[in-house]
Structure 1
Amino acid sequence: MSTERGCAVTGDLNEPSTTRESKSPDERREEIVVAARALFSERGIGKTSISDVATRVGVTRGLIYHYFGDKDALVDVVLERYIDEFVTSIRMWDAAREVGNIELALTDCIGLFRHHLQDDDPLRGDLHRIENAALYYRFVDRAVTAVVDCIRATTVKAYALRHQMEIENVYETFYVLVYGLVGLTRSRPEIEDRVLVGIVRQTLHLDGRPATNPRPDGGPAKVQGD
């Protein structure tokens, strides 16, 4: 694996004049992402420049552009980290949940959901600023899609196998549900967890046996939107 060579940086007065420690491309890229995330939280996305990130890391602006192309690409990578953390926590929740204990599973999931939406991370708060509206909605779209894909591949798949049923419209149902929960908790942060649990129960028909469509071939019944 190639590594950067230490070198004195001269020329642009806005660039740090220092000798860089030799690091692999993956290590340097990670260092840049960590620094950018910290700066976005401290100052806000709009008030953080590529020069700020370069100074924090101790590299040239050119090296930042080499790895990420532009600031928008760097912002996307930082936000993708938040999405990855959310998806990882969903996988951990699914692995730890008690099969058959729907109430506990929903309560824990809503708590997890609220934690990721309403923690005190300044960067998440910065996304809600009007000038970041387009970025916020793009971030939410990506996050909801990733969460729904994770739920489909884990919880829903296990539920379908356990009950020997084919579940229809899974993506559409969960996309509307998760997106709706995001909007509701953002506009009404005081809403109680029990209300959110009730909404999930009602949407997914978890309070009773869902309506099924018999399979003409005698296979497992289909469950619509469950």
Structure 2
Amino acid sequence: MASEAPGHHERLAHDDRRGDILAAVWSAIEEDGISRLSISSITKRVGCTRSLFYHYFPTKEDALQAVLDQSIDAFVERLIDWNASRVPGDIEGALDQAAHLLKSMVRGDSDHTARSVAHGGDASLYASFVHRVADRTARYVCSSTVVDFAARHEVRIDHLYETFYVLITGLIMYVRTHPDAPEETIKDIIASTLHIEGYTAKYPERRPVR
């Protein structure tokens, strides 16, 4: 059996320690909230020195951003799963699922970090988080879902990326301030903004004629 490449175990150890630190950031946020996050609270959970923390992250904010990246990655993975599970032609079903997914993400039903960012009082941090979610979501949908839709139906909006970016940003803010908003309302907003409400049972008279 061929021997492992030099440095293999060192890389694993390096990655493991970085992962331990990020897991500690998650834990600290879950227990104390973002506003009370500190390097000492992180290193205490990891059982490491401040110098080791600084070896991986120049500042507390850098570690926090890395955790937020993980949160966004997890949402994008759920978005990819949603896109893969869509039934071709079932636009209403896809809208129902999209409304549920977006509301769940904003409310932080399965992600304490997203919820903490939304209610942590740091407006700049939350604005950055919303921008990154909207940007990545819009780019993914435009390169996948919209392409599939365009192969079967007329796309009735211009400025695709910009429209999706504004739609997602607006919905995030709306759900944040109206956490009990019905998913049916979110679905209607998405459908009317994208001019696809005619493909739903609610507005069949608006279906475009090709």
- TM-score band by shorter chain is 0.7 to 0.9
Indicate the residue corresponding to 1:198 in structure 2: 188
| Gap change, CA 1:132 and 1:164, over 3 Å in 2 | closer
Distance 1:165 1:134 in 2: 35
Indicate the residue corresponding to 1:38 in structure 2: 27
RCO (CA 8 Å, sep 6+): is it higher in 1 or 2? 2
Residue 158, structure 1, aligned to residue 148, structure 2: yes
Q: Secondary structure at the match of 1:59?
A: coil
Q: Is the 8 A contact 2:134 2:169 kept in 1?
A: yes
Selected match of 2:54 from 65, 69, 87 = 65
Residue 172, structure 1, aligned to residue 171, structure 2: no
Distance 1:124 1:87 in 2: 13
Give the total of aligned pairs.
194
Greater share of helix residues, 1 or 2?
A: 2
Q: Displacement, 1:39?
A: 0.8
Residue 48, structure 1, aligned to residue 66, structure 2: no
TM-score normalised according to structure 2 size:
0.84
Selected match of 2:17 from 12, 28, 46 = 28
Q: Report percent identity of matched pairs.
A: 35
Q: Is the 8 A contact 2:138 2:165 kept in 1?
A: yes
Distance 2:172 2:39 in 1: 31
1:44-64 Cα deviation digits (max 9, x unpaired)? 122121122112111111111
- Equivalent residues in 2 for 1:42-121 (5 A)? 42-120=31-109, 121=111
Greater share of strand residues, 1 or 2?
A: 1
In structure 1, list runs of 5 or more residues that go unmatched. Answer: 5-21, 213-226
Larger Rg: 1
In structure 2, list runs of 5 or more residues that go unmatched. Answer: 1-6, 199-206
Residue 134, structure 1, aligned to residue 124, structure 2: yes
Q: Secondary structure at the match of 1:128?
A: helix
